[in-house]
Amino acid sequence: MNKSALHFAKAFGHEASDKRLTILKHIGEVGSISEAARCAQVSYKAAWQALETLSNLAGAPLVEKAVGGSGGGGARLTQAGVQLLEAAERLNQARAQVLSALEQRAGNTLSVTGLAGLGLRTSMRNQMLCQIKSIQKSAGTAKVQLILPGGQILVSKITIESAELLDLKVGLSALALCKATAVKVQPSEDLETLEGVNLLTGEVSAVSASVKGGEISVQLMPGLQLIGFAAAHQRLKIGQQVTAAIDESAMVIAMSG
């Protein structure tokens, strides 16, 4: 086995990897990827996706083929796989203790979901706490409706396997993420409804103008900002009512527990 350091922190830096770790744990228990998928209530394809992602993040193979047995062979954890599960259990215990202590100190005003989101390091500047309203699956994709604070609705279009691995359920809290470059801001009077495009309304709170257009900060409600871009000819001004358009496929969902 490669003796280089395993990147444990990368593998479970996000709570969204918990489902993947559950699949890995089941493989260690039952010695079969297909049976582990059934135990975790995900498809075989989703289980393979979980293993590939975790192995990439950890920097080492976590599962290897096992020869023999009544089924003629199966799968077993590598030493790296065993170490990853041990380290994950210790981190989960420590995380639970820290979050519990902070929540009590904050007098139940602290959002644990929002706090866990602070651990995300990503180029996506738009990160918004929301709640899952509905999940519609068809043709290999899942459309997830998300309610933002204030009541506006976002839709994220992801694969069914991703929805399974995130263990999405109606009512759960989630983080909605997207790049600023994926957000097109325009005056509300120029609104054009398009299939598969989210439309969020708000007012301009900051403008960074340039000859080719500029970065726009949109206040959706007090304490909730969205960053996007507008064309130069629109000449948006602070306080102006605008609409932000975001493709459903550009919205990413992150779970923090």
| Highest mean pLDDT, choosing among 83-92, 181-190, 243-252 | 243-252
Q: Do domains 8-90 and 123-177 have the same CATH topology?
A: no
**pLDDT for 82 beyond 60:** yes
Span 14-42, mean pLDDT?
A: 86
CATH class of 179-246: mainly beta
187 DSSP β-pair partners:
242
193 pLDDT more than 70 = yes
**Phi, psi angles (nearest 5°) of residue 185:** -100, 135
What does the pLDDT average to over 98-117? 62
Dihedral of the alpha carbons of 210, 212, 217, 218, in degrees to the nearest 10: 130
Structure confidence at residue 2 as a pLDDT band (50, 70, 90): very low
Q: Is the dihedral of CA 169, 172, 175, 177 positive or negative?
A: positive
Query: Which contiguous run of DSSP H or E holds residue 199?
Result: strand 197-208
Residues 33-62, mean pLDDT to the nearest whole number: 92
Distance CA 105, CA 112 (A): 12
Query: Among 117, 125, 128, 149, which Cα is nearest to 208's?
Result: 125
Instruction: Please report where in the chains the tokens 């994220």 appear, as a residue.
Output: 156
**Of 112 and 247, more confident:** 247
Residue predicted with more confidence, 33 or 114: 33
Share of the chain above pLDDT 90, in %: 57
pLDDT at residue 244 is higher than 50: yes
The C-alpha atoms of residue 231 and residue 102 are separated, in whole angstroms, by 44
Q: Scanning the structure block, which residue is given the tokens 């139940």? A: 108
Classified by CATH at the fold level, domain 123-177 comes out as OB fold (Dihydrolipoamide Acetyltransferase, E2P) (2.40.50)
* Six token digits for residue 3: 């003796």
Q: Collect all residues with Cβ–Cβ distance below 8 Å to 94 and sequence separation of at least 6.
A: none
Mean pLDDT for the stretch of residues 14-36? 84
State whether CATH 3.40.50.720 applies to domain 8-90.
Answer: no
Q: Please report, for the chain, the start and end positions of each structural domain, with discontinuous segments joined by +.
A: 8-90, 123-177, 179-246
Q: How confident is the model at residue 11 (pLDDT cuts 50, 70, 90)?
A: low
Rounded to an integer, what distance in angstroms lies between the CA atom of residue 35 and that of residue 7?
27
Comparison of pLDDT for 19 and 202, the residue scoring more? 202
**pLDDT at residue 73 is higher than 70:** no
203 with 218: CB under 8 angstroms? yes
Q: Let me know: does 184 contact 236? Beta carbons within 8 Å.
A: no
* Residue found under tokens 């215990």: 93
The SS3 of residue 66 is strand
What's the mean per-residue pLDDT of the chain?
Answer: 84
Token output for 97: 């203790």
- 137/168 Cα distance (integer angstroms): 12
